[in-house]
Structure 1
Amino acid sequence: MTPSSQRYHAIDILRGLVMIIMALDHTRDFFHVTALTADPLDPATTTVPLYFTRWITHFCAPIFVFLSGLSAAIASRKRTPAEAGAFLLKRGFWLVLVELVIITLGITFNPFYNFVILQVIWAIGWSMIILGLLVRFAPKLILPVGLLLFLGHNILDFVTLPSEGSVSVLMRILLTASGTVLPLNQTHFIGVFYAILPWTGIMLLGYCLAGLYSPDYDPAKRRRWLYRAGAIVIAAFVIIRGINVYGDPSRWQSFPHAYQSFLSFLNTTKYPPSLLYHCMTIGPGLVLLAFFEQHQNAFTRFGEVYGKVPFFYYVIHFYLIHVITVICFFATGHDASQIADPNSPFLFRPIQYGFSLPVVYLVWMFIVLSLYYPCRWFGEYKRNHQGYWWLSYL
């Protein structure tokens, strides 16, 4: 196996792994009995299995966004800065449109779009637009802007921001959204769950990592760099979290039981993502990126199938989860009068509905396995039809 194929395998394996884990969280949202009524990360009320079912999925979005930046840089090598910038702009706007139209429908099953959900694809889309502009007009600013957003955005935790007006809305969309619901009219709302710029910082840093993947870069040196960088980021998380002053708006607390205090220590803020949330997730991601270059087996080959077609998998898995939700909805005795619950944004998913955690895991495994052959087929199709321009957007 050549170094080139090793590094691309490692990227696809890690991306596939986080895509598989991501489906667990979305399955939990639709099938766990307390998913819409309780916080699985509250050390005072959660159970350890439920906590880690939610916590492990924290790694998905940051690693996926980081690898999106890395992949964008690798793909841009064959393009001029103008061509690379134009492609990133077009792909970014395409992803924003997909989030608004296709993914929102898959999540809600509401053809009237009464509740539009803006999540990770929305954030990736706008981050690609910003990256495209920087690639085209100010490439030297990519690293400093990425570091500024990564290290500095939690300064806003100490600033009093406007609470009303257009400036307030803009600040929430760009920097501080934490489940912000914006009304369009009396019947239509937008849920902004991913503030754009904290995620943009991660994508920009991923883009800058591509220097390690140049054809003449020594693979052994790259792995050493990744291991050391990952260890430093993990250590930074432990130290800064221990100091408990900066890096996350939610301070960890001591509880009567030691395990609860440990859960509180790990419970960093995702909405919007904090510095410590990113350190906690990106650090292990760098270590795994190096690890998968040298350690490949049947499991990693399984994950790689999903990692080669992440967009295809991401869109399809929401529709599959919701179709199964509809089947279980009627199979458990619900009727048409209960399809729309005013307290739930998802049709066929009432607020008081769901199953135990073991059932969630069974449904999750069924969903992942069901998508294996479709993803493998689409991956082969993309490989055999590389001349089709539209495949680069999928």
Structure 2
Amino acid sequence: MTQTTPRRLESLDTLRGLIMVLMALDHASFFVARTHPFEFWSIPLPDYGGSASWFLTRWVTHFCAPGFFFLMGAGMALFSAARLEAGWSAQRITRHFLLRGLLLIPVFYCLEAPIWVVGMGGLGNGGRTSFIVFTVLVTLGVSMILAAPLLRLSSRSWLAMAFIAIMAPNFLIPTLIKHGGDVGFIMRAFVVPGETYPISAMYPILPWFGICALGVGFGQLVQRNRDRALRAMLPMGLAYLIAFVGVRVGGGFGNLREASGAGWIPFLTVVKYPPSLAFCLVTLGGNFTLLSLFHRAGAWFDAIKRVLSVFGQAPLFFYLAHLYVYMLMRFVFFPQTSGPQWVLYPSWLAGVALLYPACLWYRRFKASKPDGSLWRMF
């Protein structure tokens, strides 16, 4: 057993694995059913026509992106502490994360972007295709790069950064709506989703980096007292969910768009692009609650935990592979028309089942490589 093994938190791997499985549902919906609503700040929120099944198919996947960024931040803090104990210098840790973050960007352009070019007909709108794009993978990489030289900051500093970065769009975008004007390159890349050639941003840097920063702060708290920090996530998560209800009932600030009608579906349909305060509260609240419950779960949950951890310990491999799996399903089985909804769910589960042995193999392959190997960065 290595020095760093005890620091690996099973509950984090379990939550990450669940997130991967839910994310697969979202992309199966896109490729197989050709249905993928967007909760964008500048357009009306999706109308599901009262269909609870279509709404829930989309809504449960909202927990994925915030979970990715939060767990990445927590993982950076835990990795840093473990490597310091193993004799790495702070400079070596910084270089590791800078390289790892930089690698995610060409991985997107070389391995992921072609899938979206085929599936969506391009990465931009109009006659010109933006070539600087901030998708989830690119913004994860940028967030890692930004966080890398700052890991020695205190947990209070990280939590303060998280608060400012997450709240920023809730102040800046209403101001933009009120006063109008063009969105410049900096605002587009950091705050406002949309396109300003040559930049296209679905995941602007600032709010998503804020969620990563929240994860780093949490990871540092785990270093002090693992059990206490993980147990505290349950009341924290419930507090976030209660605050979400307050923000939605209050309307206005924190929503970016108010509910488009009466009923529980419009109430729960919130702006994701960029992550509004309401979106952050409900998704982070859910992630915090699940993380604490996974930590508290008894032996009865071990089998499920083992399965989910296989996906959770090979996240980038799963992420790229599942896109190819569902794209192939689309072109093999539904080349001309969308698959019906009743086909979507078996297709989703079939894709996940196919990827399980592949992720199991990749996890073993990666573990066989030395710490300095590039394979360990994926």
The TM-score with structure 2 as length reference comes to 0.85
What are the Cα deviations for residues 275-299 of structure 1, in whole angstroms up to 9, with x where unaligned?
A: 1101101111111111112323322
- Letter of the structure 2 residue corresponding to residue 217 of structure 1: N
Q: CA RMSD in A?
A: 2.9
1:343 paired residue number: none
Alignment of 1:288-367 (within 5 A): 288-295=290-297, 296-330=301-335, 334=336, 353-367=337-351
What are the Cα deviations for residues 136-186 of structure 1, in whole angstroms up to 9, with x where unaligned?
A: 78997433221111233310132127643xx62321121011xx24555xx
1:97 paired residue number: 106
The whole-number CA distance in structure 1 between the counterparts of 2:160 and 2:363 is 35
Is 1:195 matched with 2:204? yes
Is 1:133 matched with 2:149? yes
- Letter of the structure 2 residue corresponding to residue 369 of structure 1: A
1:155 paired residue number: 171
Contact 2:39 2:272 in 1 (8 A): no
2:78 to 62, 74, 77: 74
For structure 1, the residue ranges without an aligned partner over 5 or more in a row are 185-189, 256-260, 335-352
Q: What secondary structure sits across from 2:9 in the alignment?
A: helix
After TM superposition, give the deviation of residue 320 of structure 1 in Å.
1.4
What are the Cα deviations for residues 25-75 of structure 1, in whole angstroms up to 9, with x where unaligned?
A: 111111215448999973462511001100110001101110000001101
Is 1:280 matched with 2:278? no
Is 1:225 matched with 2:229? no
- Letter of the structure 2 residue corresponding to residue 390 of structure 1: L
Q: What secondary structure sits across from 1:74 in the alignment?
A: helix
- Letter of the structure 2 residue corresponding to residue 16 of structure 1: G
1:84 to 87, 93, 113: 93
- Letter of the structure 2 residue corresponding to residue 22 of structure 1: M
The whole-number CA distance in structure 2 between the counterparts of 1:364 and 1:285 is 22
The whole-number CA distance in structure 1 between the counterparts of 2:294 and 2:106 is 33
1:28 paired residue number: 29
- Letter of the structure 1 residue corresponding to residue 112 of structure 2: I
Q: What secondary structure sits across from 2:254 in the alignment?
A: coil
Taking a change above 3 Å as real, the CA distance of residues 201 and 38 of structure 1, as seen in their structure-2 partners, is closer
- Letter of the structure 2 residue corresponding to residue 95 of structure 1: L
After TM superposition, give the deviation of residue 211 of structure 1 in Å.
2.6
Contact 1:252 1:267 in 2 (8 A): yes
After TM superposition, give the deviation of residue 393 of structure 1 in Å.
1.6
2:126 paired residue number: none
Contact 1:227 1:286 in 2 (8 A): yes
The whole-number CA distance in structure 2 between the counterparts of 1:197 and 1:268 is 19
After TM superposition, give the deviation of residue 222 of structure 1 in Å.
2.6
The TM-score with structure 1 as length reference comes to 0.81
Q: What secondary structure sits across from 1:371 in the alignment?
A: helix
Contact 1:84 1:135 in 2 (8 A): no
Contact 1:176 1:195 in 2 (8 A): yes
2:373 paired residue number: 389
Contact 2:169 2:274 in 1 (8 A): no
For structure 2, the residue ranges without an aligned partner over 5 or more in a row are 124-128
After TM superposition, give the deviation of residue 382 of structure 1 in Å.
2.0
Contact 1:134 1:141 in 2 (8 A): no
The aligned length equals 354
